Structure formats: C-alpha cells, structure tokens
Amino acid sequence: MSGLFVTFEGIEGCGKSTQTALLKKRIEAEGRKVVVTREPGGTATGEKIRGILLDPTNTEIKNVAELLLYAAARAQHIDEVIRPALASGAIVICDRFADSTTAYQGAGRAIERHFIKQAHEIAVRDTWPDLTILMDLPAEYGLERARATRELDRIENEPLAFHRAVRNEFLRVAEHDPLRVRTVDATRTVEELSETIWRIVEPHLP
Ligand code: TMP
C-alpha cells in the first residue's frame, strides 16, 4: 500500500499553515488517514535542530552548516515519519520540504546549486513529494503578514532582497517541475485558496 505525499511551500506569511490544516480536514472528511508534519521538525531530533536553526541569537551559523542542519532534520524525518506513513497508506501533508532548501539555502544564501543537489541526494533520495502546492505572493506582503502575527525568527529577519530571491527561486522550481509543483496565488482569500487547493489535490488521492 502506498499513500500520497503532499508538501506546501512558499515564503514567510504565505498562509501555508492555515491551508495545511484545512486540507487535512477535507481529506479526513473523505475517511482517509492523514499525517500532518513540518520541516524543519516533525521528529524529536528534528525539533531540536529546528530550535538551533530558528533561534535569532544563533548569529554565527555558517551557510553550509545551515544547509546540512536542514538536511539532517529532513533525513531523520523521512526515515522516522514520512516513509513509514506512506507505506501504511496515509496521506502525508508536510509544511515545507526540500524545495525550501533549494529556495532559502540555494537562492537566499547563494550556496552553489551542485551542493544543494548533493544535500538532496543524501537526505531526500527518492522520497520526493507527489504534489507540491507553492503558495506565491510578493515578499513584502508575506513579511508584513508574518510581522503582524509573531516575532520574526532568525531566517525571517533576513532583509527583503533575501526573501525576494527565495520567492523567485520557488517560482523557478515550479517552472522546471510543473507536474509536481502547482503554484497558487496566495493573495486570495483563505476560502478561495482552500477550494483551489482541493481541486488540485483531490484527483491525486489514491
Ligand atoms: P516555518 O516558519 O515555515 O516553519 O519555516 C521555518 C523557517 O526555516 C523558514 O524561515 C524557512 C526556513 N527553511 C529553510 O531555510 N530551509 C529549509 O529547508 C526549510 C525546511 C525551512
């Protein structure tokens, strides 16, 4: 038996977490088992790594160390949670995954593309999502929304140019992999987005 692996991606304040919860509800209403998880995190080890990565006082973390910490959390997450859940036939919904590394560490931190690819080869191997919803919106809107709801973490505190580069890289990933990555306009209302996302996901449910 094999489930379905769906990921949500996008810049800060794009509304992924809200849509993750709404999609979970809709799939559960169809009587299916859903596992909702997130990156970095999703396991005890991953949540500890998340603490290191997002702590605003950890100003000394170097770019390659950051890349490897995200990859380490991901490797643990895949083996401990994602693969077993998919093998049991569950629908796995993950709030951020490897495309975030491509966008944030690849474009935001400007780490060379072949290093990003190697990190994916080690951490992700063949566990790529079946479907990725990219919630796209201008970086300034997203940051404004994020700022209105919480204290910004270490990555969110990066300047606007960083977040613009991240957004552009997400769009580039979507352009290169249009069958897997579906872009939605995240400036629309929560209800409109939920409908659009459901129309994308429902035909893929096993
Ligand atoms: P979140 O706030 O959406 O939970 O994501 C945590 C932060 O980590 C967010 O600023 C994006 C960043 N991030 C990366 O830089 N690389 C990654 O691979 C992942 C998964 C997240």
| Residues pairing with 33 in the sheet | none
Pocket test for ligand 1, best of 104, 128, 149, 170 (most atoms within 8 A of CB): 104
Q: Ligand 1 atom closest to Cα of 101?
A: 18
What pLDDT score does 37 carry? 98
User: Looking at ligand 1, which atom is closest to the CA of residue 17?
Assistant: 3
What is the rounded distance in angstroms from the CA atom of residue 164 to the CA atom of residue 178? Answer: 21
Tokens of 99: 């495309």
Q: What is the pLDDT of residue 150?
A: 86
Report CA(204)–ligand 1 centroid distance (Å). 26
pLDDT value for 1: 54
Q: Which ranges of the chain have pLDDT less than 70?
A: 1
Task: Map out the domains of the chain as residue ranges.
Answer: 4-204
Structure token digits, residue 126 = 């063949």
Euclidean distance between CA atoms 26 and 157, whole angstroms: 34
Which class would CATH give 4-204? alpha beta
Contact present, 180 and 102 (Cβ < 8 Å): no
Q: What is the pLDDT of residues 41-50, one digit of tens each?
A: 999 999 999 9
- pLDDT of amino acid 87: 97
Residue 2's pLDDT is 85
**Distance from residue 1's CA to the centre of ligand 1 (Å):** 31
56 token code pair: 């605003």
The H-assigned helical ranges of the chain are 16-29, 44-54, 63-77, 83-87, 98-100, 113-123, 139-149, 160-176, 190-201
| Distance in angstroms (rounded) separating the CA atoms of residues 43 and 27 | 23
